Amino acid sequence: MSLQTILPGRLGFGTAPLGNMFRAIPDEDARATVEAAWDQGIRYYDTAPFYGAGLAEERLGQVLSGKPRDSYVLSSKVGRVILDEHETETPDFGEKGGLFEHGNPNKVLHEWTADATERSIEGSLRRLGVDRLDIVWVHDIAQDFHGDAWIQKFEEARTGAFRVLSRLRDEGVIKAWGLGVNKTEPIELTLALDEPQPDGFLLAGRYTLLDHAHALQRLLPLAQEQGVDMVVGGPYSSGVLAGGTNFEYQQAPPEIVERVRKLTELTDKHGISIKAAALQFSLAHPASAAVIPGATRPSRIAEDTAALAENVPTAFWSDLRAGGLVSPAAPLPQGA
Ligand SMILES: NC(=O)c1ccc[n+]([C@@H]2O[C@H](COP(=O)([O-])OP(=O)(O)OC[C@H]3O[C@@H](n4cnc5c(N)ncnc54)[C@H](OP(=O)(O)O)[C@@H]3O)[C@@H](O)[C@H]2O)c1
């Protein structure tokens, strides 16, 4: 089923930061943030076992399990099974470093086999306190987590998770499945397979104001050709496009800070917020079904909903294009 048919609106909420990414977030702040999302009318929530070794799912579930299940859409991910046993050493997530060092202490089994996929979904349902997921993403079978060994992980998922999720989708247990990754290559590879195809994909950080040229080259034309749509994750490139200091989950390097400065100069000139430019840019591609910024403070949610509704003048988009701040191939709102 196409994502555009399933998703209830174009703004969702991403819960990676609620897994104590970067810092330990008080439970009451996490709860208030999810409640703010609900109160602002957001009805699509994305989470994953990986986000704080189950912590983000638990926190999201505390709010959502009290809501009628048919009134919202929920996605989680497979590829990491959360064990009861606790970690004794600091886990190594490759270039993602100690991303969730403040999360739950449980050991995480990284596995994309059929058996692990079923166990992962069971664990998610238990932590979330719900009886079903609507969308399941195959999480992080990509180079950023596995280096060159990502191809082996991909193969494990192709013969494991992909088949289980296709079956669950065909049986109507879930509505859709796809890949949830920070890289375009695994999605391109999946779309080229002569096998049951995913319904869509969650592409994080690769269709933002700061990084989109690569996705426009092969992935998005292929996706459009096949009628497969995208949820845009990490629309603020993990914070720097929203007034934060992180880019790609690390301190933003000087060249990124400089590009954000130029973008902010332009948004200031047109009297708009950088959040409006970031979210509306990510949604302007015809393959974009929704955008899912993350947050750990309730005030962010009001900013995000306002940013989506903000009236951005066509002249801003024209200036953005003329200033070489976006790829010439990027579709812009209002056909600018
Ligand atoms: N592989 C995958 O499938 C994958 C990968 C990445 C992301 N995702 C999904 O996409 C979602 C969004 O990505 P993300 O949460 O990593 O990054 P993001 O949405 O690009 O940025 C979120 C960050 O922006 C910060 N922010 C928002 N408003 C701000 C403001 N006014 N001033 C300063 N900072 C501000 C938030 O800070 P605060 O915490 O202070 O509110 C938060 O940490 C995730 O939560 C996840 O659901 C999926």
Phi-psi region of 304 (alpha: psi -120 to 50; beta: other; left: phi over 0): alpha
The 3 state secondary structure assigned to the chain is CCHHHHCCCCECEECHHHHCCCCCCCHHHHHHHHHHHHHCCCCEEECCCCCCCCHHHHHHHHHHCCCCHHHCEEEEEECEEEEEEECCCCCCCHHHCCCCCCCCCEEEEECCCHHHHHHHHHHHHHHHCCCCCCEEEEECCCHHHHHHHHHHHHHHHHHCHHHHHHHHHHCCCCCEEEEEECCCHHHHHHHCCCCCCCCEEEEECCCCCCCCHHHHHHHHHHHHHCCCEEEEECCCCCCHHHCCCEECCEECCHHHHHHHHHHHHHHHHCCCCHHHHHHHHHHCCCCEEEEECECCCHHHHHHHHHHHHCCCCHHHHHHHHHCCCCCCCCCCHHHC
User: Which of 73, 137, 236, 247 has the most ligand 1 atoms within 8 A of CB, as the residue to mutate?
Assistant: 236
Nearest CA residue ID for atom 34, ligand 1 = 244
pLDDT at 17 over 70: yes
Residue 1: pLDDT band with limits 50, 70, 90? confident
For position 161, what pLDDT does the model report?
A: 98
**Strand 80-86 relative to strand 106-110, pairing:** antiparallel
- 182 CB under 6 A from ligand 1? yes
For 278-328, how does the pLDDT look when each residue is reduced to its tens digit (9 = 90+)? 999 999 999 999 999 999 999 999 999 999 999 999 999 999 999 999 999
| Residue 58 · residue 127 · CB < 8 Å | yes
- Catalytic residue flag (residue 77): yes
pLDDT at 216 over 70: yes
Alpha-carbon gap, residue 8 to 282, rounded angstroms = 17
The arithmetic mean of pLDDT across residues 270-274, rounded, is 98
By CB atoms closer than 10 A (0-12, 13-18, 19+), residue 4 is: middle
Nearest CA residue ID for atom 6, ligand 1 = 204
pLDDT at 90 over 90: no
pLDDT at 238 over 90: yes
For position 196, what pLDDT does the model report?
A: 83
Give the bridge partners for 180, in sequence order. 139, 202
For position 99, what pLDDT does the model report?
A: 87
The arithmetic mean of pLDDT across residues 225-254, rounded, is 96
- 202 CB under 6 A from ligand 1? yes
For position 140, what pLDDT does the model report?
A: 97
- 234 CB under 6 A from ligand 1? yes
- Catalytic residue flag (residue 262): no
Q: Catalytic one among 51, 72, 207, 249? A: 51
- 75 CB under 6 A from ligand 1? no
Task: Kindly give, in sequence order, each residue whose CB lies less than 8 Å from that of residue 160, ignoring residues fewer than 6 positions away.
Answer: 112, 113, 114, 115, 116, 117
- 12 CB under 6 A from ligand 1? no
Alpha-carbon gap, residue 88 to 159, rounded angstroms = 31
| Residue 49 · residue 123 · CB < 8 Å | yes
The structure tokens listed for 69 are 């299940």
Residue 92: pLDDT band with limits 50, 70, 90? low
- 293 CB under 6 A from ligand 1? yes
Give the chain's mean pLDDT.
96
User: What structural domains does the chain harbor?
Assistant: 3-335 (3.20.20.100)
| Residue 125 · residue 132 · CB < 8 Å | yes
- 300 CB under 6 A from ligand 1? yes
The arithmetic mean of pLDDT across residues 239-245, rounded, is 97
Alpha-carbon gap, residue 324 to 319, rounded angstroms = 9
Q: Catalytic one among 44, 77, 134, 175? A: 77
pTM: 0.97
Residue keyed to tokens 């079978």:
141
For 97-109, how does the pLDDT look when each residue is reduced to its tens digit (9 = 90+)? 578 999 999 999 9
Closest ligand 1 atom to residue 236 Cα is 20
For 313-326, how does the pLDDT look when each residue is reduced to its tens digit (9 = 90+)? 999 999 999 999 99
Nearest CA residue ID for atom 15, ligand 1 = 294
- Catalytic residue flag (residue 46): yes
For position 88, what pLDDT does the model report?
A: 83
For position 94, what pLDDT does the model report?
A: 59
Produce one character per residue of 242-272: b if its CB has 16 or more CB atoms within 10 Å, e if not.
beeebbbbeebeeebeebbeebeebbeeeeb
Nearest CA residue ID for atom 4, ligand 1 = 204
For 158-181, how does the pLDDT look when each residue is reduced to its tens digit (9 = 90+)? 999 999 999 999 999 999 999 999
pLDDT: is 94 or 88 the higher one?
Answer: 88
For position 95, what pLDDT does the model report?
A: 56
For 20-72, how does the pLDDT look when each residue is reduced to its tens digit (9 = 90+)? 998 999 999 999 999 999 999 999 999 999 999 999 999 999 999 999 999 99
Give the distance (Å) from ligand 1 centre to CA of residue 217. Answer: 25
For 182-197, how does the pLDDT look when each residue is reduced to its tens digit (9 = 90+)? 999 999 999 999 998 9
